[in-house]
Chain A
Amino acid sequence: MSSLIWYLYEFARKSWAESFAVARTNPEIVETPDRFRDFPEVFPEHCISCGACTAACPAPNAIRLVRSEDTAEEEGKAYPVINHRGCIRCGFCAEVCPTVPKTITCGENHLIREEFTILPTDRMFVIDDYLCIRCKKCLKACPVPGAIYEEDNKIIIDQSLCIGCEECLNNCPVKGAVKGIFISHIQEQKEIINLVVNTLEESIERKRDDITHLSDEEVYKFDLSITELVERARSILANDELILDTFQKITDRLKLRIVTWDEDKCKKCRLCVDECPSGAITYDEKENVIKRDTKKCLRCSTCYQTCPFGVAGYFVSRFLLDPTSLEDGVIHITVKASQLPIGAD
């Protein structure tokens, strides 16, 4: 009862009514320290839509490139948008952005970024100095200032600035002067290379009977379908672009040397056994035959040059991928007898 009276007394006071009428929470005291790193700030007008920021961001879906709609006057422009729910405010996007002035800034830390070599693609572009004709078309085409420069009459790509946009590759007039190398999945690429080389060698070995009797002028041609090869390559690495790139590089570059062995001509003189540098050729006393171990063979052609009876044959083969796609492609194989000098006949 007494408390009720107390309440009534309390509520009846003027000061209570006054304070109730103007009740307000105190203003929040928020001081932003001068180095506080807020969410990144975006200035869309500078963006060159290279995608370096999205590739660098460690938080999933925190940053995305969007493109505004085309209007009658202007093409749409791409620019990054930050998702504040995903962003962890690390400021990495601001570090890697190559534009000057900056498209993205995040706190104070966007001024230094030397060692950040995050490429938006998994390719690295290098210039083959031997093929380069110094036309500087790549230099003009590159959207990043300083990414391609000339030094000592050489064109050099700075990997830490490269954003992987392929402009240099597309603008280069010389085939092979700018190379786009896949820097990811090195191990898998090696496996694919081994797979292709082994298959090619086996397929040539199978035709040995046909090619042993080739004369100097003749060339022997046959085709190998790559359907099965592609399937096996895909089981190593599911990336068609990379598989095609690897296939093409192998067939462009590879020159296989094949050694054949015609046992019927052999007179067991055993000259080749001593000459072979890898010990691939041995004499089996019990059976009285000369044996050649294809696994140890270096394809150096020493036996071919040594043998007075022409037991060993030596051929060079070249390859061409046609068409340059993974569907229904074949590898044209050309085998030709070697022009090397041969021992006494």
Chain B
Amino acid sequence: MILPIGPIHPALKEPVRLKLKTQGERVISAEIDYGYVHRGIERVMQGKTWQKGIFLAERVCGICSYVHTQTFAETFEKIAGEKVPLRAQYLRSLTNELDRIQSHFIANSTYFKALEHETLFMYMLHLREPVMDAIELLTGNRVNMGWNVVGGVRMDAEEKHLNSIYQIITNLENEYDKYVEMFDEGPLVSLRSRDVGKMSKKDAIKGRAVGPIGRASGLKHDVREDHHTYQDEFDWKVIWRKEGDNYARTMNRFDEIRESIKIIKQIVENIPPGDVRTKIDIPAGYTDWRNEAPRGEVSYFVETNGNLIKNISIRTPSIMNIDVCGKYMLQDVATVADAVATYASVDPCVACTERVVILNEKGEKKEFDGLHNVKYLK
């Protein structure tokens, strides 16, 4: 029988519809329907000045709001052919890594909640709290930080702020392993995660899985590898795993947090002095830019006339990850509860996925085939 879950359902954070094809308790296959919270934010941005656009870009996604502003700013800096001062690049990376840590914590906590392991769920949020405090200390805000501008960051970080961030991160590092162990060695949690919702490397490539989801299935790729700051300045490595199940996805995030802590320590120790903001003149132009959001690759395509945003197209990671979840992970899952946990393990973010709906002449939904379509959408 078909078991519909959602769009509004206590097991889901955000409105999407899971249609599970079941045989008894066993889930044979699944289909995921989205389109319930479409907001058309790209259309809102068109015709606005780029100075305003960055605040709107921040509102594409709630949890990984930071990386959207960074990508937006870097796209425009690429159009102008300039790089921001090194100190600003360091501060951006610092915020990016803090944001990644908190996002991974909340992703894992929702996964544990889907497993009904509320102790670990609360522990994860408990660990996340000081990281949020660090973000607040640095930027002045907790979620939508308003911290990036095209040309650098808003304000400079003082020695005392960096020191307290270092303190927070060291504390986190010391406490952290205990909780990872709880998941790793706890017989029940592991049992419900290992070998559930498996996705092979081949499927991950076919479905274009990105971020921790792809990396947990053996795709050894992280967009940070191509980013100039990460390339030149920091010593870090890409975390990846072979198993491709719920356990691997969760552990992959845990390990990435450890890597982020490493990067943050390097940043605080080596941050160079200098400006944090430069004046940038934006010429007319068109370009694209990619960055690694906590959930995977986010790319921006921007066309501007130097003053206004003419066209903008944003691709967020969740669109592929939710897709591969329905296509490859929710096949032959032992129980419905496991299917819900599998869905939670991909860290789906429906709000950032749904920004544009393309209809054909008859008003039917159309597959998205690149920017070409959007360009002539008036």
Residues of A within 8 A of B (CB): 33, 35-37, 56, 58-59, 88-92, 107-109, 112, 114-118, 160, 183-184, 186
Contact = CB atoms under 8 A, between A and B. Distances in A.
6 contacts: A36-B141, A56-B51, A89-B146, A92-B55, A109-B155, A186-B305
Contacts of A116: 51
Interface of B: 48-49, 51-52, 55-56, 133, 136-141, 144, 146, 149-151, 154-155, 161, 277-281, 305, 307-308
Contact of B140 (A36, A58, A112): A36
A183 B146 contact: no
Contacts of B278: 115
A89 B155 CA distance: 15
A56 B52 CA distance: 7
B278 to A, nearest CB: 8
A58 B48 CA distance: 9
A58 B52 contact: yes
B51 A91 contact: no
Given A33-B140, A37-B141, A183-B307, 9 more contacts: A36-B136, A36-B140, A37-B146, A58-B56, A114-B277, A115-B51, A118-B49, A118-B51, A186-B305
Contacts of B280: 115
Contacts of A91: 146, 154
Could you say which of B55, B136, B140, B307 has the most chain A C-beta atoms within 10 Å of its C-beta?
Answer: B140
Contacts of B155: 35, 108-109, 112
B138 A90 contact: no
Contacts of B136: 33, 35-36
A88 B140 contact: no
A94 B277 CA distance: 17
Nearest to B308: A184
A115 B154 contact: no
Contacts of B277: 112, 114
Contacts of A186: 305
Nearest to B59: A88
A109 B145 CA distance: 12
Most A CB atoms within 10 A — which of B136, B144, B154? B154
A157 B277 CA distance: 23
A56 B139 CA distance: 21
Contact of B279 (A107, A108, A115): A115
**4 smallest A-B Cβ distances: which pairs?**
A37-B140, A35-B140, A58-B52, A58-B55
A89 B51 CA distance: 15
Nearest to A160: B279
B137 A33 contact: yes
Given A37-B146, A112-B277, A115-B279, A90 B55 contact: yes
Contacts of B48: 58
B144 A88 contact: yes
A257 B49 CA distance: 40
Contacts of B279: 114-115, 160
Contacts of A160: 279
B144 A108 contact: no
A115 B151 contact: yes
Interface centre among A91, A115, A116, A117 (most CB of B within 10 A): A115
Contacts of A117: 51
Contacts of A58: 48, 52, 55-56
